[in-house]
């Protein structure tokens, strides 16, 4: 099921709304990471820069075939051989790879959909104990030039409560400012054996 308000604007406009390298720096996405998963790749806005930084493979999924095709195309154009992108409904089918194998799982601009706790559980299942679930989202502020409606836009405190319901994700303070328009949250998986 395609998540509510998850349609994408034109690619150049979308990518003008982020300082991608600053976001990756502050979220701790660097060569200390091996394999990474991403739920909802969109245009590959983050997939390709993440693939450049990590030492392993990024496995990414999107429900829209055009988004997956674009991400693969961009990875190929960048000469990267560590991007695996597949069409998948991550809400109903979950993370498609081997559970508990990733150093990190990215939930970027996706937790405003239906059943955010379920997505957090899928992300928690992807990472090994000690692995990270990394969340970014639009600031809870109506002046942002884009972003889901305020009624469904998650506040950081709400995301932390949702993550606690998984029982295995622990928030790593602080709340990160990702100017101009986003915030970031990092969680560590304590164990996912019982999920």
Ligand X SMILES: C[S@@+](CC[C@H](N)C(=O)[O-])C[C@H]1O[C@@H](n2cnc3c(N)ncnc32)[C@H](O)[C@@H]1O
The residues in 101-130 that bind ligand X, with binding defined as CB under 6 A, are 108-110
Alpha helices in 33-111 (DSSP H): 47-53, 65-77, 90-93
Dig out the tokens for 135 from the structure. 């969340």
152 binds ligand X (CB under 6 A): no
Number of residues that bind ligand X (CB under 6 A): 21
d(CA 83, CA 44): 10
6 binds ligand X (CB under 6 A): yes
Closest approach, Cβ 193 to ligand X, in A, equals 25
67 binds ligand X (CB under 6 A): yes
d(CA 178, CA 52): 20
3 binds ligand X (CB under 6 A): yes
Contacts for 165-171 with beta carbons within 8 Å, 24 or more apart?
A: 165/117, 165/120, 166/117, 166/120, 166/121, 166/124, 166/195, 167/194, 168/124, 168/192, 168/194, 168/195, 169/120, 169/124, 169/133
Which residue number, 33 or 85, has a Cβ lying nearer to ligand X? 85
Instruction: Determine the interface stretch with ligand X among 84-92, 154-162, 164-172, 186-194 (rule: CB under 6 A).
Output: 84-92
40 binds ligand X (CB under 6 A): yes
Which residue number, 10 or 194, has a Cβ lying nearer to ligand X? 10
Which residue number, 108 or 131, has a Cβ lying nearer to ligand X? 108
Find where tokens 């502050």 sit: 26
Q: By the criterion CB under 6 A, which residues form the site for ligand X?
A: 1-3, 6, 8, 40-42, 45-46, 61-64, 67, 89-91, 108-110
């Amino acid at each position: 099921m395609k998540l509510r308000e998850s349609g994408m604007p034109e690619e150049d406009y979308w990518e003008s709304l982020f300082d991608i390298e600053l976001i990756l720096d502050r979220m701790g996405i660097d060569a200390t990471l091996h394999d990474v998963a991403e739920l909802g790749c969109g245009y590959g806005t983050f997939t390709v820069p993440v693939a450049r930084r990590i030492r392993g493979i990024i496995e990414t999924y999107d429900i829209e075939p055009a988004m997956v095709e674009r991400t693969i195309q961009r990875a190929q154009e960048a000469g990267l051989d560590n991007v695996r992108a597949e069409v998948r409904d991550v809400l109903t089918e979950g993370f498609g790879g081997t559970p508990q194998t990733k150093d990190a799982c990215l939930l970027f601009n996706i937790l405003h959909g239906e059943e955010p706790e379920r997505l957090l559980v899928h992300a928690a299942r992807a990472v090994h104990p000690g692995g990270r679930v990394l969340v970014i989202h639009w600031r809870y502020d109506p002046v942002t030039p884009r972003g889901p409606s305020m009624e469904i836009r998650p506040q950081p405190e709400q995301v932390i409560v949702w993550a606690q319901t998984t029982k295995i994700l622990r928030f790593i303070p602080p709340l990160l400012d990702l100017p101009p328009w986003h915030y970031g949250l990092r969680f560590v998986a304590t164990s996912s054996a019982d999920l």
